[in-house]
A and B are shown apart, each in its own frame.
Chain A
Amino acid sequence: MFSLELFLNALVIGILLGGFYAALSIGLSISFGLLDIVNIAHPAFIILGAFVCFMFNSAFGFDPILVGVAFTPIFFILGNLIYRIYYTSFEKTGATALRGLAFFFGVMFILEVALSMFFGVDYQMVRAPYIDYKLEFGVVDIPFRMFVPFLVALIMTLGLQYFSSKTFFGRAMQAVAQDSFALRLMAIDPAKIKRIAFGISLATCSVAGALFAIIMPIEPSIGRLYIGQVFAIVVLGGLGSQNGTLIAAMLLGLVESIITTFFGPSWAPAVAFSALILVLAFKPTGILGRAGDTRG
């Protein structure tokens, strides 16, 4: 049944959810969108970040977001290491992207099993003082459980967008995506830039993991459910466009929230994937995609 009150609440939750989705997919928009590395294990790394937060939160009561931010350097280094392996075994030898894909698929399962061996397969939750509060504006509720992650996600997404469009290194990242051969002619090593960029992409997983753990209970293989969302968002947004990623994330969040409210949560997973299939079939360059993008 349709009611304005439900609709308004669905809109608000949708926007908050969209921000959260942007945080989940912004890292992938760098690795998949700019660097052409199909990191299908991206959500699994986010869950790794979530469990790191859970560990410090349950043991010492640290705030999950602080833990997430504090761990970004570690994830950055992890990303560096993984890119080194990826580079020497696939990119350097000119192997197909498909082998790289299979590599990350394997990494995803290794991560999942490792997490479930350490933490068990039960759902776990983090605690923070603000989680149970909510703001009320008339008929519309804004739960802090979603609002705080939304703010952090927005700061991170906009920050990264500023970084990649305004700073020297960010522009170098874009340059790698556009023409890494030209870069090599200018005596710049594309592999080095890609290594750092992939590190940044994984560093976002640490923060996104913290947000994930705040919004919902986590278990080791829950990341699988979000592979669709993140890839749908990155493709929908147009590969490598951080603006597009934010817009696509908001759109997807809104549609999912409205579907959940009016048709039930069991239909929500199909939204992202149906959108993805349709976009891939009919407009593979996405909403804000670069014209003439011939990759893939």
Chain B
Amino acid sequence: MNSTRFYFVVLVLVGVSYLTTVFIDNQYPFFAGFAILQLIIMALAWNILGGYGGYVNFGSAAFFGLGAYGAIVAYQLFGASLPIQILVGGLFSALVGLGTGYLTLRLRGVYFAIATLALLVVAETLIHNWDYVGGAAGAYLLPKRNLDFWGVLIVGKVGGLFGNNKELLFFLMCILALLTIVICRAIEKSKLGRGLAALRDNEEAAESMGVPTLKLKLIATTLSAAIMGVTGGIFPYYMTFIEPTSAFSLDISVNALAMPLIGGTFTWLGPVLGAVILGTLQQIATVTISSEINLLIVGLFLVSFVIFAPEGFLGLIKKYSKRRD
């Protein structure tokens, strides 16, 4: 797809996602949609470092949780509004991402993966013991029922752009997901993407050919962390309550890692595909069976895909279409 057509589709999707909030009254689609969009964004963000660069991050939940708690801190400090919360969340995670990058990116392969897992627990423990943001008991964040911005009523039952906060947040997540896709696509086409691919294939060779590996890895880690932080920054406003155990849950990490591995890691389409398929399956399973089954679905898919289809859905499709030719 060429660039003009790509951006046209993106713009159309922005319009479509706004229109759905206008024309759909039932709140369930927004709830399910939010969950799936969150999966998509986390998967795309994970893929920047994990898919393009080959560095497996088990600590996605740390960046997500720190983003969420960044938002809480901003809210507690000066009652920050939603956009500020999101920004602070993203910034907070980006900084931690950069720091972790410096500390751990000299580690190769599995050691990096284990170090990110360690980061997750350290971050959770710190927040757990920090009473200012509610400690183990958690913190409430109460959104305003009516939200206006420079005289325009953004959220309001009557005459607002959005009927309620959930619809606004759904729309924000759509924008964020599309933005992340645009970023990922840009990375793939840029020097950064090619550099990352080079170090994924052979780091020593890449380095000796003059690819600035550490710099590329730091950019990728920071970018990936920032996007996860922004996603986390929206979360407290959506849930109105947050506590460390769920904000730093390993479930978030496994989802962020499983979706790209199931969809395919080489392009942005893979994580999106994986997240949409599995996210939908999860939503169906939650409604019909129980939410516990979600993890089982992810686990089974993850295991069978790494064994039988190492290049994910996209790899399968490619193989199948080649065979037909």
Docked complex Cα distance between A232 and B114 (Å): 9
Instruction: Kindly list chain B residues whose C-beta atoms are within 8 Å of the C-beta of A96.
Output: 54, 109
Instruction: Kindly list chain A residues whose C-beta atoms are within 8 Å of the C-beta of B119.
Output: 273, 277
B121 near A228 (CB under 8 angstroms)?
yes
A109 near B298 (CB under 8 angstroms)?
yes
Instruction: Kindly list chain A residues whose C-beta atoms are within 8 Å of the C-beta of B107.
Output: 280-281, 284, 296
B110 near A296 (CB under 8 angstroms)?
yes
Report how many A-B pairs have Cβ atoms within 8 Å: 128
A110 near B110 (CB under 8 angstroms)?
no
Docked complex Cα distance between A32 and B18 (Å): 50
Q: A98-B56, A110-B299 are in contact. Are A296 and B292 (CB under 8 A)?
A: no
A228 near B257 (CB under 8 angstroms)?
no
9-residue interface stretch from A112-120, A165-173, A182-190? A112-120
Docked complex Cα distance between A288 and B37 (Å): 47
B295 near A103 (CB under 8 angstroms)?
no
Docked complex Cα distance between A35 and B85 (Å): 46
Instruction: Kindly list chain A residues whose C-beta atoms are within 8 Å of the C-beta of B302.
Output: 102-103, 105-106, 109
A284 near B111 (CB under 8 angstroms)?
yes
Number of chain A interface residues as a range: 35 or more
Name, among A105, A114, A227, the residue most crowded by chain B CB atoms within 10 Å (CB to CB).
A105
B118 near A266 (CB under 8 angstroms)?
no
Number of chain B interface residues as a range: 35 or more
B121 near A296 (CB under 8 angstroms)?
no
Docked complex Cα distance between A296 and B55 (Å): 12
B103 near A103 (CB under 8 angstroms)?
no
Instruction: Kindly list chain B residues whose C-beta atoms are within 8 Å of the C-beta of A103.
Output: 302-303, 306-307
Docked complex Cα distance between A113 and B285 (Å): 14
Docked complex Cα distance between A267 and B121 (Å): 11
Docked complex Cα distance between A108 and B250 (Å): 11
Instruction: Kindly list chain A residues whose C-beta atoms are within 8 Å of the C-beta of B111.
Output: 235, 280, 284, 296
Docked complex Cα distance between A100 and B298 (Å): 16
- A143 part of interface (Cβ distance < 8 Å): no
Instruction: Kindly list chain B residues whose C-beta atoms are within 8 Å of the C-beta of A280.
Output: 104, 107, 111, 114-115, 118
B306 near A99 (CB under 8 angstroms)?
yes
Closest beta carbon of chain B to A109's beta carbon, Å: 4
Q: Mark B89-128, 1 if CB is under 8 A from A, else 0.
A: 0000000000000011011111101110111011011101
Instruction: Kindly list chain B residues whose C-beta atoms are within 8 Å of the C-beta of A110.
Output: 296, 299-300, 303
Closest beta carbon of chain B to A272's beta carbon, Å: 8
Chain B residue at minimum C-beta to C-beta distance from A98? B56
- A270 part of interface (Cβ distance < 8 Å): yes
B122 near A273 (CB under 8 angstroms)?
yes
A266 near B136 (CB under 8 angstroms)?
yes
B299 near A106 (CB under 8 angstroms)?
yes
Docked complex Cα distance between A272 and B111 (Å): 15
Instruction: Kindly list chain A residues whose C-beta atoms are within 8 Å of the C-beta of B307.
Output: 85, 89, 103
B129 near A267 (CB under 8 angstroms)?
yes
B296 near A281 (CB under 8 angstroms)?
no
Q: Is the interface of B mostly helix, strand, loop or mixed?
A: helix
Name, among B54, B109, B114, B125, the residue most crowded by chain A CB atoms within 10 Å (CB to CB).
B114
Closest beta carbon of chain B to A75's beta carbon, Å: 19
Q: Mark B282-325, 1 if CB is under 8 A from A, else 0.
A: 00000000001101101111110011101000000000000000
A106 near B121 (CB under 8 angstroms)?
no
Considering only residues 121-157 of chain B, those with a C-beta below 8 Å from chain A are 121-122, 124-126, 128-129, 136
Considering only residues 254-295 of chain A, those with a C-beta below 8 Å from chain B are 266-267, 269-270, 272-274, 276-277, 280-281, 284
Instruction: Kindly list chain A residues whose C-beta atoms are within 8 Å of the C-beta of B303.
Output: 103, 106-107, 110
- B258 part of interface (Cβ distance < 8 Å): yes
Chain B residue at minimum C-beta to C-beta distance from A112? B295
- A97 part of interface (Cβ distance < 8 Å): yes
Chain A residue at minimum C-beta to C-beta distance from B200? A96
Instruction: Kindly list chain A residues whose C-beta atoms are within 8 Å of the C-beta of B129.
Output: 266-267
Which residues does A use to contact B, with CB under 8 Å?
38, 85, 89, 95-103, 105-110, 112-114, 116-117, 224, 227-228, 231-232, 235, 266-267, 269-270, 272-274, 276-277, 280-281, 284, 296
CB<8 Å pairs between A and B, sample of 18: A38-B110, A85-B307, A105-B257, A106-B254, A106-B298, A106-B299, A106-B306, A107-B299, A109-B295, A110-B299, A112-B295, A113-B292, A231-B118, A235-B114, A273-B117, A273-B118, A280-B104, A281-B115
